[in-house]
Amino acid sequence: MTIMSYDIKNQKLPSPFFFQLFYIFDLSNIMKTFVFASFIAAITVKLVVGQSPTSISGAPTYVPQNNFPWKNKYPTPLSVPEIKPEWASLVKNDTVPQAPVNIKGPDGSLLPPAPGATDTYCHWSFYQCLKPTDIASCQKGNWAVTYDDGPSPYSSKLYDYLKENNIKATFFVIGGQVVQYPDLLKRLYDDGHEIALHTWSHQLLTSQTNEEIIAELKWTELAVKEVIGVSPRLMRPPYGDIDDRVREVLKQLGFIPVIWSADTTDWKLASGAIDVATIQNTVKGWAANASTATQGGISLEHDITEKGVEIAIQSLPVLKGAYNLTLTSQCGNMSHEAIYKEHQDQSSSSPNSVSPNATPSNDGVDSFALMKTSLMLTAIALLVMLFL
Ligand SMILES: [Zn+2]
């Protein structure tokens, strides 16, 4: 109160800096508490603001329409994202094979290789070339079901079925979907499924530059990490489009590519190019081959449409009757825990054990809670001061 009358009498408002010095040296402990709380609040706000990603001029931003306490701003879902400057140095370009960046035709698909061209860079899309580091099939008698492109509003029905029947699967998620449906991703993780990446905007990766590939993966990794607290190592290139250049970029970023050995082609359901009965017969064929096939399989399905989810649910009893349903990690001879960067040294775990020990990080929540507490403390101190 002394300060206010002093200020008014002299018709001269002190600067915030002198205002605070005046408190510290001349007033009561309550006043000092207020000043201290102000400092804490200011420092906390600075820390939280400091966690924001570097803004990129022209980069689109998206504010998700939900209550998830995001601490980062993300590119618009399915837009081609820009690289954050600090990610560029993660890949040493001079050590990446100089495979040409493939050109897309007017319909968005890759232009086919010239007649007589050889497969210099082990391109899967054109030549189905695989490297030993690619996970593409499973041990004999084992089968991993995988679902791409979600999470989506249709996914919950599949999640419910998997839970009711105690089946674990691998989900290759799109970053743009994750920021729209973080609650669904969280549920997947909490239910014990494997979370893997499927890029931000679903591009043909051999048609992208090294920097564009980095942006696709790192934005998706960042969003997934923010929701479940861990960073997946498994990734699936959209359309299986991978060559040695893409492989090396992925390797330097810490990712392991996963293709598939069995495709339901359920993505054709939407256009009517395939019907449910045909897919059912395809899956029955996989089951019928279980005893004679030299190896097990990894199937590709999608949980992005209602029909896709329905056929996925119908397929599960058929596959379960013929194979040991397992996880992609086991197909790749990894422990379940080792599919996340934060746990990749835990290789001694049983390959088939599903452990909920990966406690999601609450970094963002903690920061905001701390800021709120500090601001509340400041407000209380101010009220006490006013009523004295
Ligand atoms: Zn896809």
Residue 94 placed within a domain:
yes
Cα–Cα distance for residue pair 345/250, rounded to 1 Å: 19
Residue 216: in which H helix or E strand, if any? helix 210-228
Q: What is the mean pLDDT of residues 90-109?
A: 96
Residue whose structure tokens are 């189905």: 128
Rg for the chain, CA atoms, rounded:
27
Ligand 1 centroid – CA 172 distance (Å): 8
The pLDDT value recorded for residue 382 is 54
Q: What is the mean pLDDT of residues 309-331?
A: 97
Cα–Cα distance for residue pair 366/185, rounded to 1 Å: 20
Q: Which residue has the higher pLDDT, 194 or 40?
A: 194
286 and 375 in a single domain? The answer is no
252 and 332 in a single domain? The answer is yes
pLDDT band at 67 (very low <50, low <70, confident <90, very high): confident
**What angle separates helix 182-190 from helix 155-164, to the nearest 10 degrees?**
10
181 and 257 in a single domain? The answer is yes
pLDDT band at 344 (very low <50, low <70, confident <90, very high): confident
Q: Backbone dihedral region of 254: left (phi > 0), alpha (psi from -120 to 50 degrees) or beta?
A: left
Ligand 1 centroid – CA 196 distance (Å): 12
254 and 299 in a single domain? The answer is yes
Q: What is the mean pLDDT of residues 332-346?
A: 91
* For the chain, percent of residues with pLDDT exceeding 90: 69
Residue 148: in which H helix or E strand, if any? strand 142-148
155 and 6 in a single domain? The answer is no
Residue 67 placed within a domain:
no
Ligand 1 centroid – CA 292 distance (Å): 30
Decide if 148 is catalytic: yes
| pLDDT of 204 above 50 | yes
Contact assessment for residue 257 and residue 217, using Cβ atoms and an 8 Å cutoff:
no
Ligand 1 centroid – CA 265 distance (Å): 11
What is the Cα 65 distance to its own chain's centre? 18
374 and 352 in a single domain? The answer is no
pLDDT band at 61 (very low <50, low <70, confident <90, very high): low
Which CATH number fits the domain that encloses residue 296? 3.20.20.370
Catalytic residue among 198, 202, 302, 343: 302
Q: For the segment 345-379, what is each residue's pLDDT rounded down to a tens digit?
A: 765 443 333 332 222 233 333 333 333 444 454 45
Q: Backbone dihedral region of 141: left (phi > 0), alpha (psi from -120 to 50 degrees) or beta?
A: left
Q: What is the mean pLDDT of residues 298-320?
A: 96
Ligand 1 centroid – CA 307 distance (Å): 16
Residue 71 placed within a domain:
no
Q: For the segment 226-258, what is each residue's pLDDT rounded down to a tens digit?
A: 999 999 999 999 999 999 999 999 999 999 999
Ligand 1 centroid – CA 238 distance (Å): 5
Residue 116 placed within a domain:
no
The pLDDT value recorded for residue 285 is 97
| pLDDT of 269 above 60 | yes
| pLDDT of 330 above 60 | yes
pLDDT band at 22 (very low <50, low <70, confident <90, very high): very low
| pLDDT of 211 above 70 | yes
Looking at every residue in the chain, the average pLDDT score rounds to: 80
Q: What is the mean pLDDT of residues 63-80?
A: 86
Q: What is the mean pLDDT of residues 177-200?
A: 97
| pLDDT of 311 above 50 | yes
- CA geometry: angle at 85 spanning 82 and 86, to 5°? 125
- 161 lies in which domain range? 85-110+121-357
Decide if 366 is catalytic: no
Residue 318 placed within a domain:
yes
126 and 262 in a single domain? The answer is yes
Amino acid at the residue 361? S
pLDDT band at 145 (very low <50, low <70, confident <90, very high): very high
373 and 348 in a single domain? The answer is no
Residue 282 placed within a domain:
yes
How many domains does one find in the chain? Answer: 2
The pLDDT value recorded for residue 346 is 63
DSSP code of residue 109: S
Predicted TM-score (pTM) of the model is 0.74
Catalytic residue among 123, 134, 148, 202: 148
